[in-house]
Amino acid sequence: MTHYEPVIGLEVHAQIHTASKMFCRCPVVEDTGDLEPNTYVCPVCTAMPGTLPVINRRAVELTIMTGLALNCEILPVSRFARKSYFYPDLPKGYQISQHGLPLARDGYLEIDTENGPRRVRIDNVHLEEDTGKLFHVGNVSLVDFNRAGVPLIEIVTKPDMRSAEEVRAFAVKLREILVYLGVNSGDMEKGVMRFEASVSVRPVGSDELMPRHEIKNLNSFRALARAVAYEIEQQIKTLESGGRVTQETMGWDDARGVTYTQRTKEYAHDYRYFPEPDLPPLEVSREWVESLRRQLPELPDARRARFRAEYGLGDFETELLVADRAVADYFETAVGLGKVSPKTLANWITGDLFRLMKETRRGIDEIPVSPEGLVDLIRRVEEGTVNLNTGREILEEMVATGKEARQIIEEKGLAQISDEVALREIIEQVLDQHPAQVEQYLGGKTQVAGWLMGQVMKATRGRANPQLVRSLLTEALEARREAR
Amino acid sequence: MRLTREEVDHIAELAKLALTEEEKERFAEQLSAVLEYAARLQELDTEAIPPTATVLPLRNVMRPDEPRPPTPREDILANAPAAEEGCFLVQAVWGVEPEPEVEP
Ligand SMILES: [Zn+2]
């Protein structure tokens, strides 16, 4: 029986989060779904005759930085090109893209696979503009150009991936890097990243180029991985039953979990690229590249290694902290205050804070608890002002109200009772209320002490310092033995 | 090289320009003159000249990433042949969305 090997390449489109569009000064606004159509447009991004594009420098810089982060060569001369196709979401009848001379090419991204790390080669990284949006109503379509002209970065890989899992790992890692670079918000639900996968299968050992299926418009990691897995399975079935796979453009039906042949002429393959006459070439000097390299933030892999070495954290908590740049920054700010150990902070953040963020559906930069506020709370637990359980309740209150720990402790009277006189009084009351249990204890059933301890904690609404209660309770019981 | 009336009509249609009869005559003359000039350029021997995409000395023409207020929607839509609900209105595209088709 023949064994088959999938061959998969990816094209990733990600919006670049600049303040203004790629070739005009219209603001780039977040697509919240309820934006009024055509309220962020101008003559340039709606392709009025006589208008001219001007390149947004920041978009170029972020693309070069992405190229550097993906270990690419940055081309000394780069150029924009017109990619012609006719679809009403494209007002000019062509998209300004790059062809032949992209900003960056020949890089790689290393991913973890079940067979160890593997390099996925990057063919090129280039810059282009997004299209508008169409709404189909009966036999007409409505066009909204708010998104038209938003800068898009396109990352094209070589066909180096061999399974749906590898494709997913690549996409997840790429998203992480784009978020770290500040290129993209990573907010997949808002459509800021889109994938196209090209999938073929061939007999293991062969390096023949097989006809591929290109699956368009995959907007989530889940859809991407499912569509690729489905295609691999279908193509192997076709080949095993003696059929042939033909080159095709496919869509993905997420509800039914199947790919389907796209019959639209939307994706004509002859784009008649030619150099954009309205945009002079870009000369990217070594100095410019080096100054951008210096602006690169620490990338996720380097940060992971450092978190393990510098803070002594394990793989699992490191992964949880580093996956989101805002969380990793929060953690490091908190560690930097020098009052709480990294390990303790990691526990609080990946435990209670993550749970509360999830419950309130907020990111770490959206909750009203600052790193200083969290450290202050943990110190109060460590110093014994409040016990651990109370501390966790206070954190919940802090997330809900934005109040400081000190204020909540005062308002609710949560401070741990470490006043010996007060505790002795409470213990005596509890012992008086439960003479039977006291008798049992004095009769040798010492485990009853635990139950009595629970009664004391209950009487103090959990605020008593447990170590102190334990020793004072033993003292009080022994005093009763002597008094008999 | 003389453009025919049909060719001018066709170009005007592609460019979405509504031209009067008198304009069509005039532009036929002018476009023909442009094409004749281009035809003369084609006679040049360019064997030893490397191809280029630009003859201007300009490089790195860029602007800072600073937004400006967009154009009011009514001004933009004033140029649309048809508009509805704040959008440009166009003919539906190739029978709208393709019907998903399950592969056997
Ligand atoms: Zn604009």
Q: What does the pLDDT read at residue A46?
A: 96
Quote the percentage of chain A above a pLDDT of 70: 98
Selecting from B64, B76, B93 the residue whose C-beta is nearest the C-beta of A88 gives B93
Distances (CA, A) of B99 to A80, A246, A251, A474, B95: 35, 20, 10, 78, 10
For chain A, state the CA radius of gyration.
31
What residues pair up with A218 in beta bridges, in sequence order?
A195
B14 within a domain of the structure (yes/no): yes
- What is the rounded average pLDDT for all residues in chain B? 85
Selecting from B53, B56, B85 the residue whose C-beta is nearest the C-beta of A142 gives B85
Q: How large is the average pLDDT for residues A15-33? A: 93
- What is the rounded average pLDDT for all residues in chain A? 93
**B102 in reach of chain A (CB within 8 A):** yes
DSSP string, A114-168: TTEEEEEEEEEEEEEE---EEEEETTEEEEE-SSTT-EEEEEEE-S-B-SHHHHH
CB of A88 closer than 8 Å to CB of A131: no
pLDDT (tens digit, 9 = 90+) per residue, A267-276?
456 788 999 9
For residue B15, give its domain range.
Answer: 5-42
Judged on CB neighbours under 10 Å (0-12, 13-18, 19+), A481 is: exposed
Q: Which of A25, A44, A103, A258 to mutate to test binding with chain B, by most B CBs within 10 Å of its CB?
A: A25
* Domains annotated on chain A, with CATH: 4-288 (no CATH), 298-412 (no CATH), 420-483 (1.10.10.410)
Integer Cα distance of A330 and A156 in angstroms? 33
CA A39–ligand 1 middle distance (angstroms)? 10
Q: What does the pLDDT read at residue A47?
A: 94
Q: What does the pLDDT read at residue B13?
A: 84
Q: Residue A433 is inside which H or E element, if any? A: helix A420-433
CB of A109 closer than 8 Å to CB of A296: no
Judged on CB neighbours under 10 Å (0-12, 13-18, 19+), B95 is: exposed
Q: What does the pLDDT read at residue A384?
A: 81
B34 within a domain of the structure (yes/no): yes
pLDDT (tens digit, 9 = 90+) per residue, A351-390?
999 999 999 989 999 999 999 999 999 999 998 888 898 8
Instruction: Quote the number of domains for chain B.
Output: 1
pLDDT (tens digit, 9 = 90+) per residue, A131-174?
999 998 888 999 999 999 999 999 999 999 999 999 999 999 99
| Model confidence band, residue B5 (pLDDT cutoffs 50, 70, 90) | confident
Hey, CA dihedral for A336, A338, A343, A344, is it positive or negative? negative
Amino acid letter, residue A427: I
Q: What is the CATH number of the domain that holds B11?
A: 1.10.20.60
| 3-class DSSP assignment, residue A95 | strand
pLDDT (tens digit, 9 = 90+) per residue, B68-93?
999 999 999 998 989 999 999 998 76
Q: In this predicted complex, what is the ipTM?
A: 0.78
B70 within a domain of the structure (yes/no): no
Q: What does the pLDDT read at residue A263?
A: 63
B94 within a domain of the structure (yes/no): no
pLDDT over 90 (residue A34): no
Hey, CA dihedral for A338, A341, A343, A349, is it positive or negative? negative
